[in-house]
Amino acid sequence: MTFITAAELLELKPLYDEGKDTIRTYKNSPTLQLRRRNTVTEAFQDVYQPFRPVKIELESRMEQVSGTNAGAVTIVQGGSFQYDGTFTIQRDDRFTLDGVPCVVTLVHPEANIYGYRTVEFEYLGGR
């Protein structure tokens, strides 16, 4: 049995990037502008250049509460997107998707071998 080495895998990065660009085009990923809270003024300001994530997956899920609030249900709307990891996205960063303000709730700590990272977000104020 022969396994591919890490060096051989990195040689495939241009093909992987091309595949991600194809997904961007096929999924018609929108351009996002990140906004980050200024630690001094608490106001949000643009950071980095606008970018197109690889793909955005939207979801609506119901979170069931257990314990003393058993039976309470909260509807959470949001999703996730994948980006190339050439800049840093942080929890609490904001952006607008289809006119709806969104907040980053989780940036997965691990990037894949090619540097792509996954970010989860929620809508602010519902949809």
Domains of the chain and CATH, by start? 6-123 (2.40.10)
CB atoms within 10 A of CB 53: 25
pTM (2 d.p.):
0.76
Burial group, residue 30, by CB count within 10 angstroms (0-12, 13-18, 19+): middle
User: Which of the four pLDDT bands, split at 50, 70 and 90, describes residue 25?
Assistant: confident
Residue pLDDT, tens place only, 37-73: 999 999 999 999 999 999 898 876 656 566 666 666 6
**What is the radius of gyration, based on Cα positions, of the chain?**
18
